[in-house]
Amino acid sequence: MEKKRGFEIAKGFENSNINLPVRKTKYSAGYDVEAAEDCVIPAFKVGQKPTLVKTGLKAYMEDDEMLLLYNRSSNPGKKGIVLANGVGVVDKDYYGNPDNDGAIMFAFFNIREEDLSIKKGDVIGQAIFQKYLITDDDIATGERVGGFGSTSK
């Protein structure tokens, strides 16, 4: 079977008992993604950076695809966490990059007044594979040179 798209365990997490994402129902668009380790998302303070929650996963896909990372709909109300970037975008060439092997992370802010503890195995978000289009005059020729946040460098 030819590999088209899917999830794998990222380097450094091979012995961490990471669960690959699954869809819970046959009509779910998103694959539920779990935290790879315990962490704390501190209560929000002006000027702080978002907390990167590791998943221990990387994703491979076809050339005209991306992986979108969404918050769980219950997270803001039940846990007080929101995605700092609204929606995370994982590009095809993030997979296997030299900095972090394409390890996927969710960037959260905690809008509550108390810190939030996330446990390994907690479902933190969902991931949806999506096709994308390019313009007729697209001239992109750049090559990825790093991992998280490196696209504009």
Judged against a pLDDT cut of 90, whether residue 149 lies above it is answered with no
14-72 pLDDT, tens per residue? 999 999 999 999 999 999 999 999 999 999 999 999 999 999 999 999 999 999 999 99
CA–CA distance, 20 with 105 (Å, rounded to integer): 14
Is the confidence at residue 85, as pLDDT, over 60? yes
CATH number of the domain within which 120 lies: 2.70.40.10
pLDDT band at 152 (very low <50, low <70, confident <90, very high): low
Which one-letter DSSP state was computed for residue 77? Answer: I
Report the pLDDT value the prediction gives residue 134, as an integer from 0 to 100.
93
Boundaries of domain holding 45: 31-131
**Which 3 state secondary structure label does DSSP give 93?**
helix
Contact yes or no for 105/124 (Cβ under 8 A): no
Is the model's pLDDT at 109 over the cut of 70?
yes
Structurally, how many domains does the chain consist of? 1
Q: Is residue 144 part of a domain?
A: no
Q: Is residue 146 part of a domain?
A: no
Is pLDDT at 144 greater than 70 in this prediction? no
Hey, which bits of 21-104 come out as E strands?
A: 31-34, 39-41, 51-54, 57-60, 65-71, 81-83, 88-91
